[in-house]
Amino acid sequence: MAYRLFEGKEHASIYQQYRFTPPSGLKDVIIQYLDKKKGQPHVLAVDLGCGTGQHTRLIAPHFKEVVGIDISDFQLEEARAVPGYANITYRYAEVRCRCKC
Ligand SMILES: C[S@@+](CC[C@H](N)C(=O)[O-])C[C@H]1O[C@@H](n2cnc3c(N)ncnc32)[C@H](O)[C@@H]1O
């Protein structure tokens, strides 16, 4: 049985407030990997399960366009409320995997 803990308005608000900013070292590892494997420019990144957008914003300066996707309208509402990231768009979608989980 699945529990969908992140979707409520209150949870999204608390998540935005207290979820720590991811370490920039993690982002550096990802970008350096892409630089080496694919090379510049980095055109599009898709952040599946973006929540309130902490990682989405972290990678935004390195891509022409970033799309954050989440199943929670409230998480997306919090993400969209953060100004200053013209290359990010947020979209509602339920990502489904093919396994039986
Ligand atoms: C643990 S939070 C992580 C949020 C963000 N990536 C971060 O690092 O702060 C997981 C997020 O995935 C979303 N989520 C869970 N299942 C999903 C699904 N099937 N499709 C799209 N989003 C989903 C939740 O609504 C929640 O915002």
Q: Report which of residues 61 and 20 the model is more confident about.
A: 61
CA of 90 to the centre of ligand 1 (A): 13
Enumerate residues 6+ apart whose C-beta is below 8 A from 49: 69, 70, 71, 95
Q: Report which of residues 4 and 26 the model is more confident about.
A: 26
Where residue 59 sits, what CATH number does that domain have? 3.40.50.150
Report yes or no on 8 lying in a domain. no
Per-residue pLDDT tens over the stretch 51-93: 999 999 999 999 999 999 999 999 999 999 999 999 999 999 9
The pair of structure tokens assigned to 53 is 């957008």
Report yes or no on 2 lying in a domain. no
Q: SS3 for 61?
A: helix
Report yes or no on 9 lying in a domain. no
Report yes or no on 56 lying in a domain. yes
pLDDT of residue 45: 97
Report yes or no on 62 lying in a domain. yes
Per-residue pLDDT tens over the stretch 21-49: 889 999 999 999 999 999 999 999 999 99
Report yes or no on 19 lying in a domain. no
* Residues in a beta bridge with 30: none
Domain total in the chain? 1
| Closest protein CA for atom 19 of ligand 1 | 95
Domain of 52, in residue numbers = 40-95
